[in-house]
Amino acid sequence: MKTTAISLAALFVAGCAATEQLTPEKVEADITTEGLRNNLWHLLRIAKENGGNRAFGLPGYKASLDFVYERAVKRFGAHMDTYIQPFNHTFEQTRKIEVKGPDGKPVHAITLLYNPATPAGGVTAQLVDTPVDDTKGSLCLPEQWKGVDVKGKLALIKRGVCGIAEKLKLARQAGALGVILYNHEPGTAYGSATLGAANIGQLVPCGMIPLEVGNAWSARIKAGEKLTASLLVDSIFETRLTWNLISETKEGDPNNVVMLGAHLDGVQAGPGINDDGSGSSALLEIMGSIKKYKGFPNKIRFAWWGAEESGLVGSLYYTKNLSEEEADKIRFYFNYDMIGSIAPFFRVYQGKNPGDVHGAKVLHSYLSAKGKPAEFAPFGTSSDYVGFLNIGVPSSGLFTGAGAPMDPCYHQHCDTLENIDWSAITHNAKAAGRAAAHFALSLEGVPGRTKTTPNLRGRANLLSQFEKWAKVESEAEDSHSSFSHIIIIIIFFFSLLIRLLRNLQLRQCWWNISVRVFGVIARSSLVGWQRVGLSCLCSLARCLPSQPISVSPSSQPSQPSQPGPAIVSTPSIVTITCGHHPSSASKRHIAIRRSQSQALILAAGGSIIAIPAILPITNPRGDQSWTLLRATVAATPSQANALAERRIILLEKDQLQYSLNLPFPTSLGKDSGDWDTGENTSSSKGLRGSIRSKISGKDKDRDNHASATPSTGAAQPLDKSDSASIKSARSQRSASNPTNHAAPVSPQTANPTGEKSTPPTSPTDDSTLGPTSPIGEGDRVPSPPPSPSQSRSLGKGHHALDEQTGEVDQVSDKPAGQAGPHTATDTSTLTPKEPILIRPTGSSLPVNSGKETLEESPGGHSQFGMSALNALDLDEMITRLLDAGYAGKVTKTVCLKNAEITAICSAAREVFLGQPSLIELKAPVKIVGDVHGQYTDLLRMFEMCGFPPSANFLFLGDYVDRGKQSLETILLLMCYKLKYPENFFLLRGNHECANVTRVYGFYDECKRRCNVKIWKTFVDTFNTLPIAAIVAGKIFCVHGGLSPSLSHMDDIRNIQRPTDVPDYGLLNDLLWSDPADMQNDWEENERGVSYCFGKKVILEFLQRHDFDLVCRAHMVVEDGYEFFNDRTLVTVFSAPNYCGEFDNWGAVMSVSSELLCSFELIKPLDSAALKSHIKKGRNKRNSLYPQSPPVTRGPQSY
């Protein structure tokens, strides 16, 4: 072999002697998702540090090679021999590609590998439409060019099924200046392809555009228009050095080699994490396991191939340089390319070589035993097995699909960690590890290399055909993604059958498998972090008996007394105390996270003076134990009242007494000691510090909510996870007066400076956030706060809390006819709250409830408009939808008829179009993030916050896709929108788009449970949704984020609806962009669409438009909410336990009439707890309110 040896010295040899015997089971157990993710994280980091890719000829590939080499030599060198095999190949890079249409504006275009360059200024010429042949391929054969005049012109050609290079060759022969190729599938989710290095000098320049654009231009030309287009390709070609990396075990017979391969390079368009970081990562994990064991007679060889994306060049170079003797030693080759696709098909390669079946059987048996719908598939011509097939080596491998729906980010910028199905990559890697160990132990029955097969099986023939094989990648994408719809259906039902046969613990897993087949589930880099403790406020709101108590100004609570008016004289330092009453003697204490308690304080705009201490309190009666949380805060009386409204007992140092009619224990004893929470605190902070890199440490040091004295001017940092709530007031961010930061005030009160006072600190507190905090004086005396609104609906039995699930065991004991505002059967008789929609004139229009509202809405003359909906009875449809939510299962059909769904959509379109693209709202309002078809969790959210019309709601988009019940979710939300059009608002998310719903599940759900026409009806409705909202003139709400195209709010107001989401521009950015902790103002988004924007952009946006806060959704965050950039932006995500795997909390941001922002959280429940919750809710509804949802439960806020 023509290889260059690298030093085999092991740098780490201590304890390196393997002592255990190798078994397939041990290798399987060693391979973990965490290890695979770690490898891919490093490959993604390398790509980001090197221009966004790891492609041949560029620095990213060399850095990737160094990473694998370091693992192989420095970590595994005592057990592995590692070699580098260099070779040269033609490097191609398109530095710029641009296609301009007849209007002179650029359209979305991608280049192809080895695309020849145009003249420096590009070419502008007449655009000629050409015949389409979807059977044989458009203009692939010389006879198809007869009568086509493209000389001196640009040819518009459909991509189709044949090789692109053949089209371009024939176009060059016909005299075309270039080709504008339009894709054969809709949308822009298509990857590039290669034209082959062997075709350099034989082709014309080409740019590929979307099908929709090409069809539109073709139609205009057919109609007689004469169109002119422009094509610019700036590309280079040069020979560059690259490398394969080969590493093999020291142990084992060198004459019997089992070989595993994956390509290490990616395309220039993206980081290549699935294609093929997934296979490369699997090989590293298998190597790390194999090196631990001994006792295997056959050698294992690992190969990381270079320049695969340029035409399988690295593996073909390796195989063509093998001698006959060296080739005979390779007994089996396994290829692992793209084994973690987001919606995987589990394909096991098996060819015609008699030996192939042995390896394929091992892989297939393991995957099938694990319940994966594995299927045998023939080899194509698109991956590194080609070279081995053509020298007769028995081969197999794994592949999970490319192109939508399996991998919609194939060969694109969005091929990142979010493009990986972690279950698929883990099971495939384990299967690969077992197969390697199996063959390392025994090659019994595996035949030798086939030497008599004609056509490219011999070394001489392979040498002569090397350049031909180097260009077969031109067919890669077609062979990657050509699967039968029948196979899809078979696999889907196969997964469902397995789900029914498995035990209860695995059923949710198998459901996920079945929906992944349709590309419904997407992943994030975050997974399943364990939560610590329960919410103090959540516990207090649910389980305390309704007994009034008066709190004395002393440090210890007094005996209960009758409630009286609040007595407030001046602003002061206050201490808050809240408690939890365990529901059983075995649950004596509940751990409370500090971050949650700090969130509790900040919710009312207070500043933390002492980190809360947790104290166990014993009732004098001795029959119960209380867990109390005490913290010292700086707060004005109005803020103290706001704290009181959230069920917090206030203990004031300056003889200020609050007597509130709050549910609390009949008596409280003395403090019985301190409770050390150091373990919980450290684990919580350490965990969040390791996974949250969006806010830098220096940002945390400048925390505006930290208390500081004017003498030092220094503020102690708060962990970002503790920054749970903010007060929307510009004075909080004022840099000119740091003393104001410690005590923000409500908009209704003045903010004079006053004398500083020193608060007490807890004896158990080991760290404070500041010594003092200046407080203003002169605030007016507020009226006593009312009792919490939820307490009015809590019956005497509403006191038991299920601590495992975080759910209330009882609901109100009122009769069904008096269930309050959350009863679906009587909402038509209720008067909605005051409208919060601000019309352009500044006034709100009155809103009537029920059918009268529908009749007065615009567009009532529509066939399926308001009048049709009146006859169908909106209230009855809401009831049916709620009944479906508490039924506990997903039915084959929707509870509404297709005609009713059409009527709802038609009426909703009229209402949406009757309101502006940028809606302006008054507070109070509850802001909800992504829901994603998690219908049961949506109902849990309404149970927590109140069913309409008891509260005003603003949803930020992403109602469908990925969840099981997207139809029920969007239908219920639309029904509430129709019933309360000026108190219930829905914004558009990036998933309210035809192209996205086609891939991520909503299209399939509509097709399965209704029909495709219903999906189109919803898409038409999505195209009319409002885009953004402004709350109280201070909070800007949008699904995604900001845009460089947004200079004035009128830019949003002027967006014409209905409209689809364009590929770029203002609307695209508002739905897709993300914040990032970076120095640059704007960077490309790793999602592959829109931008990431930095802190400076947010601050300038807030200042320019006089806003205090940007509130957006679009991103999974562990706590359900997360602040960015000094709390100038917050992300709200409302789907708990997203996709059944992330264990994240859901959140709803509540904005009070005084612009106090707080968060109510929805606990993630596993499948068993969720089923228990559904069952309890169903039983309560059946027994108490046969036709209504449960009454509101206490908020799960912190």
Is 1030 in contact with 920 (CB distance < 8 Å)?
Answer: yes
- Token pair for residue 678? 């150091």
Of the residues 479, 497, 512, which one is the last residue of a structural domain? 479
Same domain, 61 and 115: no
The verdict on residue 916 lying in a domain is: yes
Per-residue pLDDT at 912 exceeds 60: yes
Distance CA 193, CA 202 (A): 17
Same domain, 259 and 406: yes
**CA-to-CA dists, residue 921 to 334, 746, 838, 839, 907, angstroms:** 60, 19, 6, 9, 22
Per-residue pLDDT, 193: 77
CA 526 to chain centre: 9
Same domain, 984 and 891: yes
Model confidence pLDDT, tens digit, residues 828-839: 444 557 899 997
The verdict on residue 1154 lying in a domain is: no
Give whichever of 306-315, 426-435, 791-800 has the largest mean pLDDT. 426-435
- Region 430-442: what's the mean pLDDT? 96
- Region 1155-1160: what's the mean pLDDT? 89
- Residue 527 pLDDT grade (very low, low, confident, very high; cuts 50, 70, 90): very low
Residue 927 φ/ψ, nearest 5 degrees: -105, 125
The verdict on residue 1150 lying in a domain is: no
Model confidence pLDDT, tens digit, residues 363-421: 999 999 999 999 999 998 889 999 999 999 999 999 999 988 899 999 899 999 999 99
Same domain, 383 and 441: yes
Give whichever of 319-333, 638-652, 749-763, 849-863 has the largest mean pLDDT. 319-333
Per-residue pLDDT, 793: 26
Is 330 in contact with 259 (CB distance < 8 Å)?
Answer: yes
Per-residue pLDDT, 1070: 96
What is the tally of structural domains in the chain?
Answer: 4
Per-residue pLDDT, 496: 54
- Residue 58 pLDDT grade (very low, low, confident, very high; cuts 50, 70, 90): very high
Q: E strands of 703-845, at which residues?
A: 726-727, 756-757, 773-774, 801-802, 807-808, 837-838
Per-residue pLDDT at 621 exceeds 50: no
Same domain, 48 and 109: no
Model confidence pLDDT, tens digit, residues 186-232: 888 676 677 877 788 889 999 999 999 999 999 999 999 999 999 99
Per-residue pLDDT at 1131 exceeds 90: yes
Per-residue pLDDT at 750 exceeds 80: no
Of the residues 479, 501, 522, which one is the last residue of a structural domain? 479
- Region 1171-1184: what's the mean pLDDT? 64
Same domain, 165 and 259: no
Per-residue pLDDT, 600: 38
Of the residues 460, 479, 498, which one is the last residue of a structural domain? 479
Per-residue pLDDT, 635: 47
Catalogue the active-site residues: 991
The verdict on residue 954 lying in a domain is: yes
* Residue 1029: count of CB within 10 angstroms of its CB: 24
The verdict on residue 620 lying in a domain is: yes
Per-residue pLDDT at 759 exceeds 70: no
- Region 240-255: what's the mean pLDDT? 95
Report which of residues 277 and 1086 the model is more confident about.
Answer: 277
Alpha-helix residue ranges (DSSP H) falling in 607-673: 637-645
Average pLDDT in the chain: 71
**CA-to-CA dists, residue 974 to 461, 725, 967, 1114, angstroms:** 66, 29, 11, 20
Looking at residue 202, which CATH number applies to its domain? 3.50.30.30
Looking at residue 1040, which CATH number applies to its domain? 3.60.21.10
Same domain, 369 and 463: yes
Distance CA 1122, CA 1116 (A): 9
- Region 692-716: what's the mean pLDDT? 32
Per-residue pLDDT at 1067 exceeds 80: yes
Model confidence pLDDT, tens digit, residues 1014-1040: 999 999 999 999 999 999 999 999 999
Same domain, 1035 and 1014: yes
- Residue 848 pLDDT grade (very low, low, confident, very high; cuts 50, 70, 90): very low
Per-residue pLDDT, 1172: 76
**Cα dihedral sign for 269, 271, 274, 278?**
positive
Model confidence pLDDT, tens digit, residues 153-185: 999 999 887 888 889 999 999 999 999 999 988
For residue 220, the enclosing domain spans 91-238
- Region 580-585: what's the mean pLDDT? 32
- Region 1079-1086: what's the mean pLDDT? 83
Per-residue pLDDT, 491: 59
Percent of the chain scored above 70 by pLDDT? 62
Report which of residues 1141 and 522 the model is more confident about.
Answer: 1141
Per-residue pLDDT, 490: 62
- Residue 842 pLDDT grade (very low, low, confident, very high; cuts 50, 70, 90): very low
Distance CA 1153, CA 308 (A): 60
pTM here is: 0.40
Per-residue pLDDT at 783 exceeds 90: no
- Region 449-459: what's the mean pLDDT? 51
Per-residue pLDDT, 1181: 56
Per-residue pLDDT at 11 exceeds 70: no
Same domain, 73 and 98: no
Model confidence pLDDT, tens digit, residues 367-381: 999 999 999 999 988
Same domain, 107 and 70: no
Same domain, 222 and 344: no
The verdict on residue 809 lying in a domain is: no
Is 1197 in contact with 1150 (CB distance < 8 Å)?
Answer: yes
* Residue 1059: count of CB within 10 angstroms of its CB: 14
Model confidence pLDDT, tens digit, residues 294-313: 999 999 999 999 999 988 99
- Residue 330 pLDDT grade (very low, low, confident, very high; cuts 50, 70, 90): very high
Give whichever of 513-522, 667-676, 685-694, 867-876 has the largest mean pLDDT. 867-876
Half-sphere exposure (CA, 13 Å, Cβ side) for 533?
26
Distance CA 537, CA 1197 (A): 6
CB proximity list for 219: less than 8 A, separation 6 or greater: none
DSSP bridge partners of 303: 246, 261
Same domain, 900 and 1039: yes
CA 680 to chain centre: 27
Distance CA 1144, CA 3 (A): 50
DSSP bridge partners of 631: 576
Per-residue pLDDT at 1006 exceeds 90: yes
Distance CA 508, CA 1168 (A): 9
What is the secondary structure of 327-372 as a DSSP string?
Answer: HHHEEEEEEE-S---SS--EEEEE-SSTTHHHHHHHHHHHHHHTT-
- Helices 422-441, 33-49: axis angle to 10 degrees equals 110
The verdict on residue 514 lying in a domain is: no
- Region 1066-1090: what's the mean pLDDT? 88
Model confidence pLDDT, tens digit, residues 86-144: 999 988 888 899 999 999 999 999 888 888 999 988 999 999 999 998 888 888 888 88
Per-residue pLDDT at 39 exceeds 60: yes
The verdict on residue 807 lying in a domain is: no
**Cα dihedral sign for 463, 464, 467, 472?**
negative
Per-residue pLDDT, 489: 55
Is 97 in contact with 109 (CB distance < 8 Å)?
Answer: yes
DSSP, res 1133: B
Per-residue pLDDT, 46: 94
